[in-house]
A and B are shown apart, each in its own frame.
Chain A
Amino acid sequence: MSIVEVEHLAKTFRSRERASGIAESMRSFARPRYRTREAVKDMSFSLEAGEVLAFIGPNGAGKSTTIKMLTGILYPTSGNVRVLGFTPWQQRHQLAYQIASVFGQKSQLWYHLPPQDTFNLLARIYELDMNEYRKRRDFLIDVFDIADYIRTPARKLSLGERMRCELAATFLHKPRIVFLDEPTIGLDVIAKQRIRDLIAQLNVEEGVTILLTSHDAGDVEQVCRRAIVINHGEIILDESVATLKSHYLKAKTIDLQLAGTVEELLTNEAGDQQSRLKLQLSTPELDREGIQVLKAQGHSLRLEVDTDRCPLEPVIASIMQQQHILDMTISDPPMETIIAAIYGSQGTVDNSIPSPAAVESAGLLAE
């Protein structure tokens, strides 16, 4: 059963434009000029109960705007939305008891007070039975493992600790749908993993429906079962995460810091161009065509591995047999690259998306 139904949703923002310089400032004051921007264009999709949907796209794609319309904070320019049978912007108050949202870049915790105080306040705001609330609070403190700092002022918590408290606060009133807007932004790898595990756990144990936006392909891979990719306010892909992974998330980037120099690992088969550098593998059966050397300098090596053609583990094992690895990072392709690949597969071109090569040369590859 669909609990979220979105039909032809659109949102247009109008913002004032002003050129630089005193004369332009004066002109703008006398005759202001406005620019209209379509943040969301004709968007339609639905969400089933218990689903975990990823809403992904680059900055300014319209992800947050859509979430804010689904929670009733923003009024749409046109289109229809039903969330749990409510029209969000008309019945925001009634809907608020059934849903929850987390905005990764903003905090709902009172800055000078321990999270415990915010929890108590939320219990009153959501009109919870206080005995039920205490049981629920203790359960969430246990699940999110926040007992050690539930009485520490929020200002003294690390970002990861704070985000766990934010999430625990979100689940206090047993919401039926949780909107998570970039919940892992700014977190380190371990904290990100912890948050992903907790979200997945609560989805399974409580059947809560989750709509998650993120820039991070890792969030999508590990937490979600379905993904909607949007760009310029339009849906460009609505697929299962398994399909997305097999088509667009197959390339992993490995950054290595080696004890020796990279030359010992590489062969130059055709001249002295870096693009022709190949990795020497101690395991000959590995498909070397699936491994591309993106950067090789001194002790640093960056590889792109097509996991369809060449699994990661044996590649790393092969390197370890030849060199001592000091440090290693494995990352997903940046969102820009995924979107460029989607456009490529659909035979359309989006000029605003840099090509993977351009992204790499500009040093923008996500870490």
Chain B
Amino acid sequence: MQTEVATARSAGLITRLKRRVRLSTLKYLAILHVSILNNLAYIMEVFFRALLLVVLVFVLTQLWTTTFTLHGSRVLKGFSIADMIWYLVAAEAIALSLPPLTRRIDQEVRSGQLAYLLGRPASYVLYNYAHYLGERLVRLLMNILIGSMLALVMAGVPHFTWQGLLAWPLVAFIALSIDFVLHFSIGLLAFWSEETQSFSLIASRLTLVLGGVLAPLEIFPQPLRSIAQALPFSAILYGPSRTLVHFEAARLGALLIQQCLTLLIGTFIMLTIYRVAVRRVNINGG
């Protein structure tokens, strides 16, 4: 009899848990959906922003073509000029898709707009994560579209492996999540600092320089290469781009470990900052 009651109880618990998971998933998917719609409302702005990728990739391609010519080689550290162009497009597509997350969080904190979000039955962190993903996915897809057309013209059809193509969405998604943790944490600093844009600028420049957006990290001289590989920035740009262009199963495993560890530690730091910050809320305006 007791066993039956316990079984019924645990079945009820499982049903409630399933319902909660389903409702929570629908909640954050709805935020993602609205965020995508909001960004599609000004798709031309997204398109023109993506044209910057054309300029950057074109300039970098010219530099690399000159370097290859001077070097007198068709392959540099395993990368042909065509590989290099596709690598640059892949890395720039992610780098240039970063929305102004830090500025938004900073503004929400300063203007008191976060009062609406904190007063809702939704996690402030997850709400912002879904909002950010919506913004970023629209920009990323536009960058991929324009970048691919450019690379097709400049480098021809790429020699991607099917494993690389399958693994890229996963590692790119984790990369975007790491970027969120980094920039959301910086945005939360608005609770203490009067200006967060300087921190954001430093983080984004470090990501660009040490993350491997100008060149694959293999090209970097030692000890800069080892330092860059050890830092979390390489998990955002270099790792996903290399997985796509030069897929290696062993490297993918190492990248996934690096990404998961970075995300785990970053999330812990972000949540710690958030827990302290939310007690310091000092809403402005009335």
Interface set of A (CB-CB < 8 Å, partner B): 13, 59, 63-65, 68, 71-75, 92-94, 96-97, 99, 101, 103, 105-106, 108, 110-113, 117-118, 120-121, 124-127, 153, 181-182, 213
Which one of A75, A118, A127, A182 contacts B34 once the chains associate, using CB atoms below 8 Å?
A118
Q: Bound state CA distance, A113 and B31, in angstroms?
A: 13
Q: Chain B's nearest CB lies how many Å from the CB of A360? A: 25
Q: Bound state CA distance, A93 and B124, in angstroms?
A: 11
Whether A73 contacts B118 by the Cβ 8 Å rule is yes
Measured between beta carbons, the chain A residues less than 8 angstroms from B205 are none
Which one of B23, B37, B42, B286 contacts A59 once the chains associate, using CB atoms below 8 Å?
B286
Whether B30 contacts A181 by the Cβ 8 Å rule is no
Which one of B34, B41, B121, B283 contacts A126 once the chains associate, using CB atoms below 8 Å?
B121
Whether B34 contacts A103 by the Cβ 8 Å rule is no
Closest to B41 in A: A112
Whether B115 contacts A73 by the Cβ 8 Å rule is yes
Measured between beta carbons, the chain A residues less than 8 angstroms from B33 are 121
Chain B 100-133 near chain A by CB (<8 Å), digits 1 or 0:
0000000000011101101111100000000000
Give the contact-size bracket for chain B: 20 to 34
Whether B27 contacts A113 by the Cβ 8 Å rule is no
**If the complex has contacts A124-B26, A182-B286, are A106 and B37 also in contact, measured as CB distance less than 8 A?**
no
Measured between beta carbons, the chain A residues less than 8 angstroms from B77 are none
Measured between beta carbons, the chain A residues less than 8 angstroms from B113 are 106
Among A59, A71, A74, A75, which residue has the most Cβ atoms of chain B within 10 A? A74
Whether B115 contacts A68 by the Cβ 8 Å rule is yes
Which one of A72, A112, A213 contacts B42 once the chains associate, using CB atoms below 8 Å?
A112
**If the complex has contacts A73-B283, A106-B115, are A125 and B34 also in contact, measured as CB distance less than 8 A?**
no
Whether B121 contacts A121 by the Cβ 8 Å rule is no
CB-defined A-B contacts under 8 Å, sample of 14: A68-B281, A71-B119, A72-B119, A73-B118, A94-B121, A101-B116, A103-B115, A103-B116, A111-B38, A112-B41, A113-B37, A113-B41, A117-B34, A125-B122
**If the complex has contacts A125-B27, A126-B121, are A64 and B34 also in contact, measured as CB distance less than 8 A?**
no
Q: Bound state CA distance, A116 and B43, in angstroms?
A: 20
At the interface, yes or no: B279 with Cβ under 8 Å from chain A?
Answer: yes
Within 8 A of A (CB), among B27-81: 27, 29-31, 33-34, 37-38, 41-42
Q: Chain B's nearest CB lies how many Å from the CB of A101? A: 5
Closest to A118 in B: B34
Closest to B283 in A: A68
**If the complex has contacts A125-B30, A126-B121, are A106 and B38 also in contact, measured as CB distance less than 8 A?**
no
Q: Bound state CA distance, A93 and B281, in angstroms?
A: 16
Among B111, B115, B118, which residue has the most Cβ atoms of chain A within 10 A? B115
Among A63, A73, A97, A126, which residue has the most Cβ atoms of chain B within 10 A? A73
Q: Chain B's nearest CB lies how many Å from the CB of A87? A: 15
Whether B121 contacts A93 by the Cβ 8 Å rule is yes
At the interface, yes or no: B272 with Cβ under 8 Å from chain A?
Answer: no
**If the complex has contacts A124-B30, A127-B23, are A106 and B121 also in contact, measured as CB distance less than 8 A?**
no
**If the complex has contacts A63-B286, A113-B34, A181-B286, are A75 and B116 also in contact, measured as CB distance less than 8 A?**
no
**If the complex has contacts A63-B286, A92-B118, A113-B37, are A74 and B281 also in contact, measured as CB distance less than 8 A?**
yes
Q: Bound state CA distance, A343 and B30, in angstroms?
A: 51
At the interface, yes or no: B285 with Cβ under 8 Å from chain A?
Answer: yes
Whether A73 contacts B121 by the Cβ 8 Å rule is no
Closest to B19 in A: A127
Closest to A15 in B: B282
Measured between beta carbons, the chain B residues less than 8 angstroms from A112 are 38, 41-42
Q: Bound state CA distance, A96 and B124, in angstroms?
A: 13
